Structure 1
């Protein structure tokens, strides 16, 4: 849909954004921030940063509540959480064969009748971050050793509420291998999930029937299909030993020993920039003795199956074999965030994105409120690790530092800019390694380079290369789109950020700060026009408002693209 009149579009988008306003807790106060849906109680900090930044424009105004929410979570030593929500567990479907439930930290779904529990991080589509499955049980009976697939023997499964939490369980019937009609034991896997913690407590119980003794009994706790690709791959294991942790890069091969004997904990990690790396932290809690860890991988650094064994010389009705683990799935963290109840403790908000929003407001704030905003932005920038190598966080850090440059106290944009430029490969800004390119990374980098131009940095060449890397593509559903190779602008946020970057580059060209050959200038205009059309196709009128496809982050991205904050930048001619 094409909309006539910039003022009408601006006012419509503002009214649409206002529909997401809801009271949020910021310290001891309630402030009007932007919920994930109208009337909702979930608040994404990055979405509130996008809204606070877009509304910093003097011709728009508002967003003070969103800024107050960011300030409240930039004040402490802990990383700001990605999401703030009520501390509750929601069971969407309790059917064991297709269950779905969520906590503030994770989503869970799967088929308990097949022993499959898929665990996802919030805000992520695609394959699960973890699949709890792939177990076996081993024992000696009648003088012979046997190994049995746990999932193939499941006879019962269910979900039980346990106070504010829930217990996901499945139970297998273990029969005599030489006499399938004779039941030897029950094997139960129980996963305790609670909204107050991102940890999952797994308890495995092998309970022989009265009169049955199983010798050399071994039970397992496994994770399967651990590297389906995309943003989910695990490549190394860190073993927590008493003297010093030991890191093991997973070799290719099946049933490869990773560890012999017990360890106090171990971590399975992605070989990825730390802010985006998945980490599974497992802490055995007994009472069974951990025997060791084994892995299967189709290629080096590409873990598929990770299996931990717990053993006892014998198991019987009076002395069942029980193993318990605490499993903690995080992204971008080594430990859970110490955050208020209901906050997502499993993954942080991008500190540079929050800093860019606060810096934008500081640059335009009256003197009385400027220093608090600037100080919070500086604190967030100081938290960015030296190992950060993802383009989007570095790009937002450049933008934040550029906005703080006229104010006293820094930090300098140059070090962030150098690290950002190092992420470019063939003109595409992408994180190191095998993770696929993302338009959110590339478009943020282009926008940051325009801000760097305003600081007098010599970045015209990488900016031109980044613009040249954009190309047209046909998306699923026979839709036209724009991408960097294998990284399409698929969401409203992607398109809004890309259009904003293209319009900023056009403004820099018009001011004489970016010299482009005529052909490149025409192509820039063509891409900006296409991006605007693609973005407008994601907008729809709704009463007196205009709504973008998505939540408040999409609404703010569309607003910032069509009324760009970069209109306030000033350049020196190249």
Structure 2
């Protein structure tokens, strides 16, 4: 696997990262180094820093041959990874803040923050929330964005011996938007509750119920405050106010809210979906509740509730609805209680709600901590999921090179023992969380459950397994996870994703679609494993994966049709063929890297190929190199890789992945250390 670049060209490509994209960012009260999305400064999107991009750059700069010159850049970006994953969550990007009231009409309001869009009609007590911006669109999952409706409330009370239950939205009399000092806005609707009372039992106002939704410019949480004030001269008893969510069954059919986890009595427990029209999920105090879509973390919308008024919580009810033959959550009703409410006095409850683009299942404790202590979110977007595998791989590479003596041999700056210990603890925490999210587990300690295929992205899984192969060669540490067991379990899940029917070996994504970079990442992993320990099933899977790749005109245009691209196709469950190609330079980079390692595996005899297969592999490699070479341009003194054939600039997602393809990171990783002895 020789380098495809001379050192001067290599350094000019890396310098592009340092001079055009690297920027200091404040996270958790300290300064770290991150890569902004693209060099087109000025737009909020361009200034966002994505964890996946930094992770690819960290893997690149961890190479022993590069560390002597680029240690400061690599260590600064590693600090960014550490700061973005202080708990079991690894946040996908830095935060985009702000709050703009686009329409003040309370019957048709529109409020935009860095992460969410709020619309609705306050005269009907309706607040609609949706994710917005890159967090909702950059992931490889389905493009459909879920809306959440904060509505559907009831209020119950007794006056004397008479019980009453009123629909809150039917009784709204006042409503509006109230701008807040320092930014933000409060959306409110107020109801007058009418019922017979007094000696003559005449109907009149017995209380005023006010709902306030607090939208903040630098906090992705939505605050909710509900206050009920009894009218003068009227005492209420057995008061129940609610904080509801409605139309939960209306999201993408392929991504239901399939996981509900309650935090109560100091522990987390999953709640079962019942087929009843309205079921009691829980009775008594609770401090948190999470609803997570059944999808891979990057695509799974999560709705997380924090309940500061937990001691007043009476019950949580859930109405379900059958959608396409499956039971789906539809109407969630949390009911708070007060035994008595004397005349003229008030009863108030509060909640914090977080709608996240990308949610890591089995990390509900971390979301509860974020909601209770918002300082943990400072500078970070709440979404997670896309970067996990890449980040695990980057940290594992540093650990392997540092502990194997590779940095010493290259006369590169070493990593201090304290730094190594922190990296190892970070790695162990996140690799356990990664696998727990794929299982029907409640916490990262529960890994006995079988993996759920829909909860794993192919590229993320492949790079996570690459990381595990490396950490199996680290010196043993007491209390460390069983890396070998995780590697075996993950490998079985990955091999099961290969379609061996009409698609002739395509590795499929969680939703059943084909993605060239995911397929390439799977082949990269299998080729690396085959070089380390040849195995017939690995060779067979690689030959099938190679056969699934074709060469032909681009599926998306942008270059002359005579310019062939690598193509990957897949027959979907509905019988329609879908495909992906090398339109994105980053995908070409991952595929070219996979073909380079497969070439070495074939030369070593680990993956025997027929002459025609060997020629096909070389043709794919050459095509990737030719296409990428045509997308490199001068940018001042540096070299920039355009993100696609129609792009006007490069970006942080492209440059490190292409550099990894043009250099030899896999050769360095394979040469570092010896295989650790497998436990008996």
**TM-score (norm. length: structure 1):** 0.75
The answer to whether the 8 Å contact 1:507/1:567 transfers is no
* Count of residue pairs brought into register by the alignment: 557
- Work out the CA distance in 2 between the residues paired with 1:245 and 1:32: 35
Which residue is equivalent to 1:190?
Answer: 212
- Work out the CA distance in 1 between the residues paired with 2:614 and 2:253: 34
Q: Aligned pair 1:446/2:470, yes or no?
A: no
The answer to whether the 8 Å contact 1:217/1:311 transfers is yes
Using a 3 Å threshold, how does the CA distance of structure 1 residues 155 and 122 change in structure 2: closer, same or farther? farther
Which residue is equivalent to 2:502?
Answer: none
Which residue is equivalent to 2:23?
Answer: 22
- Work out the CA distance in 2 between the residues paired with 1:499 and 1:151: 61
- Work out the CA distance in 2 between the residues paired with 1:360 and 1:437: 28
Q: Aligned pair 1:250/2:264, yes or no?
A: no
Q: Which runs of 5+ in 1 are unaligned?
A: none
The match for 1:342 among 369, 375, 378 is 378
- Work out the CA distance in 2 between the residues paired with 1:504 and 1:230: 39
Cα shift at 1:91: 1.9
Using a 3 Å threshold, how does the CA distance of structure 1 residues 405 and 314 change in structure 2: closer, same or farther? closer
The answer to which of 521-530 and 450-459 deviates more is 521-530
The answer to which of 483-492 and 51-60 deviates more is 483-492
Greater fraction of residues in strand: 1
Q: SS at 1:298's partner residue? A: strand
Which residue is equivalent to 1:46?
Answer: 52
The answer to whether the 8 Å contact 1:440/1:497 transfers is yes
Using a 3 Å threshold, how does the CA distance of structure 1 residues 379 and 311 change in structure 2: closer, same or farther? closer
Which residue is equivalent to 1:233?
Answer: 256
Q: SS at 1:326's partner residue? A: strand
Q: SS at 1:515's partner residue? A: coil
The 5 Å alignment of 1:150-549 reads 150=169, 156-158=175-177, 160-161=179-180, 163=182, 166-171=184-189, 188-193=210-215, 199-206=221-228, 219-226=241-248, 228-229=251-252, 232-242=255-265, 247-252=270-275, 254-260=277-283, 263-271=286-294, 278=302, 280-283=304-307, 285=309, 290-299=314-323, 300=326, 302-310=328-336, 318-320=344-346, 322-328=348-354, 331-332=359-360, 333=363, 334-335=365-366, 336=369, 342-344=378-380, 346=382, 350=387, 352-361=389-398, 363=401, 364-366=406-408, 369-370=413-414, 372=416, 378-383=424-429, 384-385=431-432, 387=436, 389=438, 390=456, 391-403=458-470, 408-409=475-476, 414-423=484-493, 424-425=495-496, 427=498, 441-458=518-535, 459-469=538-548, 482=568, 488=580, 493-525=586-618, 527-528=620-621, 545-549=639-643
The answer to whether the 8 Å contact 1:241/1:263 transfers is yes
Q: Deviations over 1:178-207 (max 9, x none)?
A: xxxx99976543233557766543112356
Which residue is equivalent to 2:78?
Answer: 70
Using a 3 Å threshold, how does the CA distance of structure 1 residues 532 and 247 change in structure 2: closer, same or farther? same
The answer to which of 403-412 and 319-328 deviates more is 403-412
Using a 3 Å threshold, how does the CA distance of structure 1 residues 405 and 306 change in structure 2: closer, same or farther? closer
**TM-score (norm. length: structure 2):** 0.65
- Work out the CA distance in 2 between the residues paired with 1:207 and 1:9: 72
Using a 3 Å threshold, how does the CA distance of structure 1 residues 284 and 402 change in structure 2: closer, same or farther? closer
Cα shift at 1:243: 8.7
Q: SS at 2:344's partner residue? A: coil
- Work out the CA distance in 1 between the residues paired with 2:164 and 2:185: 32
Cα shift at 1:141: 11
The answer to whether the 8 Å contact 1:251/1:297 transfers is no
Using a 3 Å threshold, how does the CA distance of structure 1 residues 288 and 340 change in structure 2: closer, same or farther? closer
